[in-house]
Amino acid sequence: MTIKNDQTYIDKVLKGDSNAYAFLVEKYKVMVYSLAYKMLVNREEAEEVSQDTFIKAFKNLSKFEGKSKFSTWLYKIAYRSCLDTIKKNSAKYNITDINEITTNQIEETETVLDGIERKERAEIMNQCLLKLPEDERSVLWLFYFKELSLKEIIEVTSLSEANVKVKLHRARKHLLTIVQKNVEPEIINHYGRK
Amino acid sequence: MGENKHIEELDAFAKKYLKEIPTERPSVDFTANIMNTILADEKRVVFQNKSKLSNSIWFVLGGFIIASIYILFKGKSSEIKIPSFDFGSITLPDLPDYQMRHLLDNITFSSTTVYAFLIFIILFLVQGYFMKEYLTKRVS
């Protein structure tokens, strides 16, 4: 139904009714912007890249063959635009290495997180997610938040399946490390040790 | 086995907590900004100068001008006469024979008029070129 809807508006735009594009922008703006923000960690840049994404998509709409979902196609454009911006500001986005840990402390971290109010917990998780390296952060975001399948992530990122899987696994580990560091005082309080 | 369990635990952890993160929203005028840019670009395309004459027409026009100049400089007389054509060879029963035969015999132009006309055409074309360049710069 969604795909059919999208295609209807795409056809209208291709026939010259540019105003029909507003429907597609309105429908997917949050999706594109949230990805851009998760990748760039800067509201102004995310807004700029998101707008560029929609303008690029509009100009290349005739090249959209409908083989994939329109949203996947948009994600692909947004992802590449974000990578270009990151390349331009490579120094800015350098993130220091994160030490990995074993996951025997997952339960401890979960217990502490569960004891925190939902809103505050979401904020902690968001801050932790933003501390991840960009490539891991975006893959994690697409997989868990946007619930894209591995196949769709491969299409968006142009990475191999093995590479996406490795990035996902590493990202989960890194996320846990960062979350644990963030809630360390609570863990010490709760368990009486580091 | 242990590694798989380890992956599953991490997967469950990420799934459980990442979903709680609120979605960031773009600015209120996000869609309007995009649509304004798109519609402004479209207007620009409408105003884009496209050559109204094809290359072959320009070629014929150029040939005509060159041929005209050649004829003018070749002739010595101060008057240019329209080449005579025997319209009498065309048989139209309704028209008197005399009128058809001598239709253009008495039409002559002074060299000055013809030179002026040719220079006008040349300057008109040159002006057209510069006007096009000027408008293209202005619109873009």
Complete DSSP assignment for chain A: -HHHHHHHHHHHHHTT-GGGHHHHHHHHHHHHHHHHHHHH--HHHHHHHHHHHHHHHHHTGGG--SSS-HHHHHHHHHHHHHHHHHHHTTTTT---------GGGHHHHHHHHHTS-HHHHHHHHHHHHHTS-HHHHHHHIIIIIS---HHHHHHHH---HHHHHHHHHHHHHHHHHHHHHHTHHHHHHHHS--
Exposure letters A28-64 (e unless 16+ CB within 10 A, then b):
bbebbbbbbbbbbbbeebbbebbbbbbbebbeebeeb
User: Hey, which residues does B109 pair with through a beta bridge?
Assistant: B80
B28 and B72 housed in the same domain:
no
Q: Are residues B28 and B80 in the same domain?
A: no
Query: Which residue among B15, B21, B27 places its CB closest to the CB of A126?
Result: B21
d(CA B2, nearest CA chain A) in Å: 11
Asked whether residue B16 falls in the same domain as residue B62, the answer is no
Under CATH, what is the fold of the domain A2-88?
Answer: Rna Polymerase Sigma Factor; Chain: A (1.10.1740)
pLDDT higher for A177 or A28? Answer: A28
Q: What is the pTM of this model?
A: 0.63
Same-domain check for residues B60 and B79? yes
Cβ–Cβ below 8 Å for B7 and A37: no
The answer, yes or no, to whether residue A187 has pLDDT greater than 70, is: no
Q: Counting beta carbons within 10 angstroms of the beta carbon of residue B51, is it exposed (0 to 12), middle (13 to 18) or buried (19 or more)?
A: exposed
In the predicted model, what is the mean pLDDT of residues B65-71? 77
| A99-108 burial: b if 16+ Cβ within 10 Å, else e | eeeebeebeb
A116-130 pLDDT, tens digit per residue, is 888 888 888 988 888
Q: What is the DSSP letter of B50?
A: -
How large is the average pLDDT for residues A101-106?
64
Confidence of residue B89 (pLDDT cuts 50, 70, 90): low
Mean pLDDT computed over B91-97: 57
> CATH number of the domain at A103-191, please?
1.10.10.10
The answer, yes or no, to whether residue B42 has pLDDT greater than 70, is yes
Residues B67 and B135 in one domain: yes
**The pairing of beta strand B79-81 with beta strand B108-110:** antiparallel
Q: Is B89 in the same domain as B128?
A: yes
**pLDDT value at residue A57:** 93
Kindly list the residues from chain A whose CB atom is less than 8 angstroms away from the CB atom of residue B31: 22, 25-26, 29
B96 and B66 in a common domain: yes
CA distance B37 to B46: 14
Q: Please, which pLDDT band fits residue B71 given cuts at 50, 70 and 90?
A: confident
- Indicate if B90 and B38 belong to the same structural domain: no
Residue A25 pLDDT greater than 90, yes or no: yes
- pLDDT value for A102: 58
A143: its two tokens: 């997989």
Q: Which domain holds residue B6?
A: 2-47
Per the structure, the count of domains in chain B is 2
Say yes or no for a CB contact (<8 Å) between B20 and A118.
Answer: yes
Please judge whether B35 and A22 are an interchain contact, meaning their C-beta atoms are less than 8 angstroms apart: yes
Give strand pairing partners of B110. Answer: B79
Pair B23, B83 in one domain = no
Residue type, B49: N
pLDDT tens, position by position, A46-69: 999 999 999 999 999 988 888 888
Give chain A positions within 8 Å (CB) of B11. 172
**Higher pLDDT residue, B7 or B102?**
B7
pLDDT at B82 over 70: no
Are B9 and B26 in a shared domain? Answer: yes
What is the structure's pLDDT at A49?
A: 94
Which pLDDT score is estimated for B80? 57
Residue in A21, A79, A58, A26 with CA at minimum distance from that of residue B28: A26
Please report the ipTM that was assigned to this predicted complex.
Answer: 0.74
Domain residue limits, chain A:
2-88, 103-191
Average pLDDT over chain A reads 84
